[in-house]
A and B are shown apart, each in its own frame.
Chain A
Amino acid sequence: MSGRVLVGVKRVIDYAVKIRVKPDNSGVVTDGVKHSMNPFCEIAVEEAVKLKEKKFIKEVVAVSCGPQQAQETIRTALAMGADRGIHVEVTGKDYDTLGPLQVSKIFAALAKKEDAQLLILGKQAIDDDCNQTGQMTAALLDWPQGTFASEVSLEGDKIKVVREIDGGLETIKINTPAVLTADLRLNTPRYATLPNIMKAKKKKIAQVKPADLGVDITSRLEVLRVDEPPQRLAGVTVETVDDLVAKLKESGTI
């Protein structure tokens, strides 16, 4: 076992920003808007660094796909304790149409190339909420997957994962190599310390293109239109339960 973990980190619009739709409804405004690492990716990085600190694994490699700015996100991962980074360059129109299918192909290729023992991702990104990349990558690699992980422990060459599911908690044991996706309660990500930020400057970030990995990133999807959610309408007060039932029937809800 190589002892190497790949962690995918995505640069997304910061969670606190108020999202605005572009006037031509082709997407949301991203120019000049604050971006940061996807919160679930932070949790994934933290888990990987923790595994390294407990000496279960030897190396944490942070990977991000996107334009030049994706390197900022990789740097944040390096400052949290990742050892080196890989920046997969995707720019312009290709970046606009980059989705989970393309990213999983890239991750699958990298996981093979880097001989990774584990691939840890966030469960979903807060911009598209797809919740697909982890699952697709596992399928492409034919690796077992432990998704929505709220607890991870390595036991020999197997991994015990406690998953948060609708019915409660499910515990599974899977073989390695495997794909894990991090859920909210997996851990609390550490702050980067000032000394670690300075040390991160010296860590290497390798640049590759999807073509170098033999991956075709053409999208099979076309976004037709992006709209804001409908404005919340004012409510109506009713006097009696009968009134309430009548109104609900009227609106077709029951």
Chain B
Amino acid sequence: MAAAGALGRIVRLGSSLCRKQRFIFTRSPPGRGIASCVDPAHGLTDEQKEFQEVAFNFAANEMAPNMAEWDQKEIFPVETMRKAAQLGFGGIYVQPDVGGTGLSRLDTSVIFEALSTGCVSTTAYISIHNMCAWMIDTFDLCSMEKFASYCLTEPGSGSDAASLLTTAQLKGDHYILNGSKAFISGGGDTDVYVVMCRTGAKGPKGISCLVIEKGTPGLNFGKKEKKVGWNSQPTRAVILEDCAVPVTNRLGAEGQGFNIAMKGLNGGRINIASCSLGAAHACVQLARDHLLVRKQFGETLSNNQYLQFQLAEMATKLVASRLLVREAATALQGNRPDAVSLCSMAKLFATDECFNICNQALQMHGGYGYLKDYAVQQFVRDIRVHQILEGTNEVMRMIISRNLLTES
């Protein structure tokens, strides 16, 4: 676990008594230590605190030391993710009878928030995999023996998802798919593709959901995209050319696909928001630590009232975001009527605020914040995309305003 691992590192560096030491430039795990207003354990049950502890330990030991390398070398950390799956992180809200861990949406949010402090990009992929595992409910996915990708977006349909053009024509006991999907996380490296395609007429009611395995003839991939962040997951276009998929691979009924996709996204939005929370939490810790160490004008930056106030604002917005995300998770778990709106509000608010928090933390680091030797820039780059995917924050506003303005 974290403590013994960290002590092991200290001993290898030559200290004979195993005492904790302060390393100024190495990355001590963000998330440990200060019991303060931003402690993410507040308000949780004892059991949730234990889940969170495991996730923080895993993030600190298995992810944080590697996050810079995974980013720079664009490594898809399969072995680390399988280790995470062994702890139950592969299908957190999937039912145990199909190999999942059977926890609630709130437990899930707490876990992803903690894992994110170790590497946002990898945690975000794990959350996408979880979303797919939930949609398909299979054993192999929960153990991460196989990895999954969610394919909805196309070159011509992003926010206007229901206008997708990939067709699936029924021929005997197979669907023949033609079309292409864009920006698919894990695309090309994952084994299972959950593809939304058109089996019927225009609009959402003509869309169905098919599961396609890698290696199926007609399933091809574009080049690996070069991204600003999320570099530990490959992103590729998925190209379908007369790809034959058995009818038995369809999830739900014909025409139900869009519904399934949207339901998946509600949870996906909470998950992505949770990843943003973790990054912001890590950045608040990093900024705080930096302010206590860096001296200018004869004193530490922590004595500067402007920076004190800014840190306070960052902390306040972090806690506010966290509360909204957790409330949305609870609403989704309980199937409340406000669940969809809350998920949208949570995603909108948390991703925006947390990006600002991370960006502010970078600013507080001064020139050092811009160097890749420091983790803060990776958090900023990694969570920038959270304001765009899983439904742009503009689309989140559409969903919320629709709820407000519809006559009931």
> Which A residues form the contact surface with B (CB < 8 A)?
14-18, 32-34, 36-37, 39-40, 42-43, 72, 75-76, 79, 126, 129, 184-185, 188-195, 197-198, 201
Among A16, A37, A79, A189, which residue has its beta carbon within 8 angstroms of that of B33? A16
Pairwise interchain contact A184-B18, C-beta atoms closer than 8 A: yes
Question: Are B88 and A195 interface neighbours, CB within 8 A?
Answer: yes
> Is there contact, CB below 8 Å, between A33 and B50?
no
CB–CB A194/B103 < 8 A? yes
Interface contact B1-A189, CB-CB below 8 Å: yes
CB closest chain-A residue, reference B58: A191
Task: Report yes or no: B89 in contact with A39, Cβ–Cβ below 8 A.
Answer: no
Measured CA separation A129–B15 after assembly (Å): 15
Evaluate contact between B33 and A201: CB separation under 8 angstroms: no
The minimal Cβ–Cβ distance linking B132 to chain A, given in whole angstroms, is: 19
- With known contacts A15-B20, A126-B18, A188–B4 Cβ distance under 8 A: yes
State the Cβ distance, A234 to closest chain B Cβ, in Å: 15
User: Which B28-69 residues have C-beta < 8 A from chain A?
Assistant: 28-29, 32-35, 46-47, 49-51, 53-54, 57-58
For A194, list chain B residues within 8 Å (CB): 51, 54, 87-89, 92, 101, 103, 111
10 nearest CB pairs, A to B: A194-B88, A39-B3, A16-B32, A32-B35, A39-B4, A15-B20, A193-B87, A16-B33, A194-B101, A197-B50
A16 and B28 contact, CB distance less than 8 A: yes
B86 within 8 A of A: yes
Asked if residues A75 and B6 are in contact (CB atoms below 8 Å), the reply is: no
Give chain B nearest CB distance to A185 CB in angstroms.
Answer: 8
A9 and B7 alpha carbons, distance in the complex (Å): 17
* A200 CB → nearest B CB, Å: 8
Expressed in whole angstroms, the minimum distance between the Cβ of A14 and any Cβ of chain B is 6
Once the chains bind, are B32 and A34 in contact (CB under 8 Å)? yes
B366 within 8 A of A: no
A42 cross-chain contacts in B, Cβ below 8 A: 1, 3-4
Asked if residues A15 and B57 are in contact (CB atoms below 8 Å), the reply is no
Q: What CA separation (Å) do A190 and B62 show in the bound complex?
A: 12
Q: Which residue of B lies closest to A36 (CB)?
A: B3
CB distance from B16 to the nearest CB of A (A): 10
B17 within 8 A of A: yes
B88 pairs with A14, CB closer than 8 A: no
**Structural contact, B35 and A39, CB atoms closer than 8 A:** no
Interface centre among A17, A39, A185, A201 (most CB of B within 10 A): A39
Cα–Cα distance between A156 and B33 once the two chains are bound (Å):
44
Q: How far is the CA of A72 from the CA of B92 in the complex (A)?
A: 23
Does the CB pair A76–B33 fall under 8 Å?
no
Residues 58-104 (chain B) with a chain A CB within 8 angstroms:
58, 86-89, 92, 96, 101, 103
Contact A15–B3 (Cβ < 8 Å): yes
Would B4 and A43 count as touching, CB distance under 8 A?
yes
A16 contacts B58, CB within 8 Å?
no
Whether B11 is near chain A, meaning CB under 8 Å from some CB there, is: yes
19 more A-B residue pairs beyond the given contacts A17-B20, A34-B34, A188-B8, with a C-beta to C-beta distance below 8 A:
A15-B20, A16-B28, A33-B35, A34-B33, A34-B35, A39-B3, A75-B50, A76-B50, A79-B50, A126-B18, A126-B19, A192-B87, A194-B54, A194-B92, A194-B101, A195-B88, A195-B96, A197-B47, A197-B51
